[in-house]
Structure 1
């Protein structure tokens, strides 16, 4: 069976580092931190008071009253990122392309702000009815459905929810659909907005959150920091993109997913290693071809040590020559949307030869003895990269990309 080549022709994002891709990548190049004090209701009742929040955001400048009634914050972010990605791509959805193009997005929890607001109104304020659109606003597939309606995309459209690997799983499905010939183009990525009182309080219960900073791979790290936002991509059949003269940003060449089948929260070196090896195999790449890995890199001891051990196992001697960084140190952990924002760093590495740093790195950890690109971005040309996502539930998803 012939396999179609799959390329990225458009990117869009809104996150703690910027309201679009250009400002986000500039922040990554400068090693800027988007994590700061949370500006949310009842923040004084929280133990964790920091996050990678989208600042200076006013929904009324982007959406009208009727839309705001229907769009939770995670959907708003998705629509803004999708507009940027489709505009950059220049793709025109009509006719048969419209019938076959779909939307596959990742989110772990969907409309958490809507849940939070309505639980308050029913339980705290004692109200006995909620808005009739609460369900369509909070459902996990809301963002995917609204993107499909916005662009008249009538092909395979659904949402993937695999906790912190949701975006990578979603983008992997979109990749498979184009590679197999099921679709010529797909809108894909992910989004999350859990930075509300209930969302942060739930995460606090896990006791994996830092109260001051996200410091992946640093010996003095003390946990993860939540972020919010979205990133969306146009994935396209290479021949289709070429024929219409599209600017090709990178090529998606491999994808693999595994399950640890061992623990609901503790990661497994074997499960992560099998996903990394599988992505290389699927892409037809050798270990030596990979120059950079965008790490899952949450800043928890459990993740960082397990991930470094998995990379060392798979890459052997080549692990010493690899660069591996965690951009979560800058934008926080976007849970279901995180892999999508991190894929931007992979595109930047391939297209611009700039490797995003792991900021907040203060003390080397002997169990994370890899080149983690500490604190400052680096100009290095790379021809192939990986993006790791290892989720609660033991679900792992790794994408492989190549320079075109």
Structure 2
């Protein structure tokens, strides 16, 4: 079994648009939860979420492409770029054995909702031809692998709240078993939309502390009343230890094992 280490980190979330600002906010004990601004939630029982603020998708993709990809993909592209840059690869990087694992719990829910409304109100011929590609989770990994020229394994995980962790495990196994020398892992989600909030609220899964959003997320408190939906993306670069050591990479951590099971 090969040793697996982390050599690149990227993120974007309600606390920051990159890893440095996010980590600083976390250390300062800041909360990213506030009133929903992505849509009018006035009539919803849940009116709070952890939205990514001040994100301009035009800084990620050009204007012609923005409408072709869902927000979760835009966020994932941003985090992946930061992780790849953070890893400090040279121009001569061999990408034949460099793979990717992408993950999302739901995928392009806002686009599914939007095009469902278009179909209902204006008819099926008005549905965007980019709707399906923009909503599929595997397009996250597909577009990122194209951008960075990654030609190794390309895997997608759609396992609800476990998707990101599942992706880490798949990337770890790919390197540990010798199927790849490097893997980029991305988890992204952006489901703060009427159907997303409304659906989870109907399950009584979300906190309704609308007047105290900063303290709504309290999973271990006896007064907890549900989770708070957030959005964002995180990315990690995994490498085989000897490869990372040979090129003098900064090693953040070593992943020494991974396990998975079902409680069916």
TM category, shorter: over 0.9
Give the structure 2 partner of residue 191 of structure 1: 188
Name the CA distance, whole Å, in 2 between partners of 1:204 and 1:93: 48
Is the aligned partner of 1:247 residue 2:255? no
How many residue pairs get aligned? The number is 258
Q: Decide whether the 8 Å contact of 2:80 with 2:186 is kept in 1.
A: no
Q: Deviations over 1:16-64 (max 9, x none)?
A: 1110011111111111100000012231232101001101122223321
Name the CA distance, whole Å, in 2 between partners of 1:204 and 1:94: 50
Is the aligned partner of 1:168 residue 2:165? yes
**How far off its partner does 1:216 sit?**
1.8
Is the aligned partner of 1:52 residue 2:50? yes
Residues 53-132 of structure 1: pairs in structure 2 closer than 5 A: 53-92=51-90, 97-124=94-121, 128-132=125-129
- In structure 2, runs of 5+ residues without a counterpart are 210-215
- In structure 1, runs of 5+ residues without a counterpart are 262-404
Structure 1's 79 and 93: CA in aligned 2 closer, same or farther, altered over 3 A? farther
Q: Decide whether the 8 Å contact of 2:60 with 2:77 is kept in 1.
A: no
Name the CA distance, whole Å, in 1 between partners of 2:185 and 2:83: 10
SS of the aligned residue for 1:136 comes to: helix
Residues 205-216 of structure 1: pairs in structure 2 closer than 5 A: 205-212=202-209, 213-216=216-219
SS of the aligned residue for 1:4 comes to: coil
TM norm structure 1: 0.62
Match of 2:177 among 169, 175, 180: 180
Structure of greater relative contact order (alpha carbons < 8 Å, 6+ residues apart) = 2
Structure 1's 219 and 129: CA in aligned 2 closer, same or farther, altered over 3 A? same
Q: Deviations over 1:207-233 (max 9, x none)?
A: 121012111211211111100000000
**How far off its partner does 1:65 sit?**
1.8
Q: Decide whether the 8 Å contact of 1:40 with 1:197 is kept in 2.
A: no
Q: Decide whether the 8 Å contact of 1:102 with 1:185 is kept in 2.
A: yes
Give the structure 2 partner of residue 222 of structure 1: 225
Name the CA distance, whole Å, in 2 between partners of 1:63 and 1:160: 24
Name the CA distance, whole Å, in 1 between partners of 2:103 and 2:138: 9
TM norm structure 2: 0.94
